[in-house]
């Protein structure tokens, strides 16, 4: 029987929708969901890959140890035998990938609290998106939620970093705003030229922190003495000689109603500065954060996991942690690659759960096949989503594996949700001073390396378009 189900892409934080058609629980077609409010039917290269991800021949379907494949009963028995003498002793680290569903992260945190001990659970984000989101949580701004369609109507958009590269689907809306009128501004603040800056009419290339600090000063000066504490703090913090282009941009940003700042960065300090710019510019300004992880923002707000994967590695090297359960995250590659190789000898076991073979499964004692988010029930973009197809073979969601293991250990997981995030603080002079202190020694003298202002290009294009159009009409 043919079934069509809508789902959401988790490859970036935009969350574009699509439809998967399945016949007898096998995905046969991907169709573009034109009713989806985020993507409106379009998908980037990553999103088009979704069907292949579901039907991939290399998906892991059975648990296995180093010699042979196992059944789930046998696997859970083995895990129980190993874990039982280590319960509540904080000797086992649990690392779960950041791109898991909120329900899975919640189950992981509760499993660690119930069975493993204190500070044993880490959510692993390879790109450092969590640092940005946590920094923004600390410096949150009293803004209404962002609606993507508002970006199309923004007469002044500032893009920090390269949002077109991470979430190409947002580029349609940004370019709509950019081309709606010749007076509209798309400014890009980045270290070097990138995909987004090709379409910008104002480019501020240079140290991002410094440029944002300069912008913050201009914005605070421009908004007047509404916030005396801020104003003095910024003046003290950033003794920046005024740059004409930054000044122009800051004034335009403040004076344009409903202007947008789109933030794509992995630098928490830059994120806080950008949030401060938006907060200082007025209540109608918006900040839109674009990250590599689909639900990182949600999880950072909800997850009380306090330790990082690196901390667990250090504790393993010191001999405090004797084994690892790694779900999804490939900690054998990337920045932590050497660390997992070193601690492998000092740990008694490593169990890796993943949908595909990766560096961690290759060195693991037990390999657990897991489902991807399209095959699990969970909350994405604030909506409950049903799976588009069933699990392949014996694969299970991360949360279900931990629930079964907890049941086997005689400590079933309770149904409580993780604690809500602590109350957000407002941006104030104190935060600005701290930020200034943090970046002060790193970037002492702000320099705008190169700027280009191409307001005049429109007129040239008009003339050239007209000539070409005359030629073309003779066809």
- Smallest distance, another protein to C-beta of residue 468, A: 4
CB–CB of 18/32 below 8 Å? yes
Angle at 313 between CA 310 and CA 314, to 5 degrees: 90
CA gap 252, 364 in Å, rounded = 56
CA gap 14, 149 in Å, rounded = 13
Please give the residues from 49 up to 108 whose contact with another protein meets the rule CB under 8 A.
Answer: 49, 51-52
Please give the residues from 198 up to 217 whose contact with another protein meets the rule CB under 8 A.
Answer: 198-199
- Smallest distance, another protein to C-beta of residue 45, A: 5
CA gap 399, 387 in Å, rounded = 15
Site string for another protein, 181-200 (x = CB under 8 A): xx-x----------x--xx-
Of 64-72, 280-288, 423-431, 456-464, the window that binds another protein (rule: CB under 8 A) is 456-464
CB–CB of 164/195 below 8 Å? yes
Regarding 468 and contact with another protein (CB under 8 A), the answer is: yes
Dihedral sign for Cα 76, 60, 322, 107, please: negative
CA gap 402, 422 in Å, rounded = 27
- Smallest distance, another protein to C-beta of residue 15, A: 14
Regarding 171 and contact with another protein (CB under 8 A), the answer is: yes
CA gap 26, 20 in Å, rounded = 10
- Smallest distance, another protein to C-beta of residue 458, A: 5
Size of the site for another protein (CB under 8 A): 40
- Smallest distance, another protein to C-beta of residue 48, A: 4
Find the binder of another protein among 226, 306, 386, 461 (CB under 8 A). Answer: 461
CB–CB of 454/197 below 8 Å? no
Of 144-152, 170-178, 300-308, 437-445, the window that binds another protein (rule: CB under 8 A) is 170-178
Site string for another protein, 14-53 (x = CB under 8 A): ----------------x-x------x-xxxxx-xxx-xx-
CA gap 468, 367 in Å, rounded = 62
CB–CB of 55/26 below 8 Å? yes
If the CB atoms of residues 28 and 443 are measured against another protein, the closer one turns out to be 28
Q: Which residues, 6+ apart, have CB-to-CB distance to 335 below 8 Å?
A: 126
CA gap 373, 386 in Å, rounded = 10
Regarding 462 and contact with another protein (CB under 8 A), the answer is: yes
Find the binder of another protein among 53, 175, 421, 443 (CB under 8 A). Answer: 175
Site string for another protein, 112-151 (x = CB under 8 A): ----------------------------------------
Residue 474: CB atoms within 10 A of its CB come to 5
Regarding 172 and contact with another protein (CB under 8 A), the answer is: yes
If the CB atoms of residues 180 and 447 are measured against another protein, the closer one turns out to be 180
- Smallest distance, another protein to C-beta of residue 30, A: 7
Dihedral sign for Cα 469, 471, 473, 475, please: negative
State CA 132 to chain mean position distance. 9
CA gap 373, 375 in Å, rounded = 5
Residues that bind another protein (CB under 8 A): 30, 32, 39, 41-45, 47-49, 51-52, 164, 168-172, 175, 178-179, 181-182, 184, 195, 198-199, 457-458, 461-462, 464-469, 472-473
């Amino acid at each position: 029987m043919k079934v069509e189900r809508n789902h959401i892409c988790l490859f970036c934080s935009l969350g574009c929708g699509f439809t998967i058609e399945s016949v007898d629980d096998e995905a046969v077609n991907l169709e573009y969901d034109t009713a989806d409010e985020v993507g409106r039917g379009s998908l980037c290269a990553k999103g088009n890959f979704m069907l292949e991800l579901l039907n991939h021949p290399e998906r892991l379907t059975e648990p296995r140890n180093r010699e042979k494949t196992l059944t789930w009963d046998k696997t859970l028995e083995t895990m129980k035998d190993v874990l039982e003498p280590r319960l509540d002793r904080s000797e086992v680290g649990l690392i779960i990938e950041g791109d898991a569903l909120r329900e899975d992260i919640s189950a992981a945190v509760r499993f660690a609290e119930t069975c493993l001990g204190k500070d044993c659970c880490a959510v692993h984000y390879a790109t450092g998106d969590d640092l940005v989101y946590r920094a923004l949580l600390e410096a949150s701004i009293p803004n209404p939620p962002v609606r993507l369609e508002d970006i199309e109507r923004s007469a002044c958009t500032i893009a920090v970093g390269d949002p077109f590269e991470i979430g190409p689907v947002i580029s349609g809306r940004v370019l709509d705003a950019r081309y709606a009128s010749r007076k509209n501004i798309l400014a890009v603040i980045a270290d070097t030229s990138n995909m987004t800056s090709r379409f910008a009419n104002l480019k501020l290339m240079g140290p991002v922190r410094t440029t944002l600090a300069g912008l913050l000063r201009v914005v605070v000066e421009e908004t007047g003495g509404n916030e005396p504490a801020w104003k003095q703090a910024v003046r003290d913090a950033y003794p920046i000689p005024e740059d004409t282009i930054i000044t122009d941009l800051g004034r335009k940003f403040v004076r344009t109603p409903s202007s947008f700042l789109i933030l794509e960065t992995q630098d928490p300090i830059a994120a806080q500065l950008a949030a401060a710019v938006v907060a200082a510019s007025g209540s109608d300004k918006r900040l839109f954060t674009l990250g590599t992880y689909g639900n990182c923002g949600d999880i950072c707000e909800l997850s009380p996991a306090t330790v990082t994967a690196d901390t667990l590695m250090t504790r393993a090297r010191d001999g405090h942690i004797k084994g690892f359960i790694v779900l999804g995250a490939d900690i054998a590659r990337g920045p932590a690659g050497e660390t997992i190789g070193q601690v492998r000898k000092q740990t008694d076991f490593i169990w890796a759960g993943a949908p595909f073979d990766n560096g961690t499964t290759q060195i693991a004692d037990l390999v657990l096949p897991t489902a991807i988010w399209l095959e699990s029930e969970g909350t994405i973009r604030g909506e409950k989503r049903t799976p588009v197809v069933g699990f392949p073979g014996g694969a299970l969601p991360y949360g279900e594996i931990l629930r079964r293991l907890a049941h086997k250990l005689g400590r079933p997981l309770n149904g409580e949700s993780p604690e809500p995030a602590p109350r957000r603080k407002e941006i104030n002079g104190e935060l600005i001073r701290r930020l200034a202190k943090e970046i002060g020694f790193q970037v002492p003298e702000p320099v705008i390396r190169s700027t280009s202002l191409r307001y005049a290009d429109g007129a040239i294009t008009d003339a050239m378009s007209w000539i070409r159009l005359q030629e073309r009409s003779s066809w």
